[in-house]
Chain A
């Protein structure tokens, strides 16, 4: 896996039932495009996060397929509905088979 991969996720701690919330995510990752060459002229192999999925209590919010044109340290912002209290799960899939995850709980009143 890429070194030092660290997710950073912002979800409000609470919301009212059915409210729309904004979620922001960042993850440290070089997103090596496969287009660059090293100082010896050899192509640096592609190594990216190719998929990012967010679920809430097992139901899908977003499922993004990512290509090498996504910038280093991928950032995403999107909106979710929260029908009840529960847990958001965030999953990033790396080309090399590594999977990075994070979870955030939200209380719905």
Chain B
């Protein structure tokens, strides 16, 4: 087989895509994590919860995100397309000045990042954002 640059690039992309889980399997893991966090309670669309993430991440190894939910007691973050979707669960104590956290996460590829907040009254809110993860250049 003659492997020119273009076929190499395309097959490389296909191989990269195969690293991501099939959508069905990933969705089941996300649903399971959400159920564990909410105890099966209803989850409303976000009104007080915001998730800030780059539209396009330069490197999936280190993607800056911020979550904020005034009045929340905890915020769970999931990366729906990672082999293991769990990212972290941020609980805020009595001395937290705000229900805000900023961190850096790993994304295995382009996917939705999901945040779910547990509000002080026990209700839950959800928001998600798609982050496109670019596939590197020469990389060196």
- Contact flag (A, B; Cβ within 8 A): yes
Which residues of A come within 8 Å of B, CB atoms? 20-21, 33-35, 55-56, 59-72, 74-83
DSSP majority for the B interface? strand
A76 to B, closest residue via Cβ: B103
State the CA gap A55–B91 with chains docked (Å).
12
Asked if residues A64 and B104 are in contact (CB atoms below 8 Å), the reply is no
Q: Which of B91-109 contact A (CB under 8 A)?
A: 91-98, 100-107
DSSP majority for the A interface? strand
Chain A to chain B contacts (Cβ below 8 Å), 22 pairs: A35-B83, A55-B95, A60-B93, A62-B90, A62-B92, A63-B93, A67-B88, A69-B82, A70-B103, A70-B106, A71-B103, A71-B104, A72-B61, A72-B62, A76-B102, A77-B102, A77-B103, A78-B96, A78-B100, A79-B97, A80-B95, A81-B97
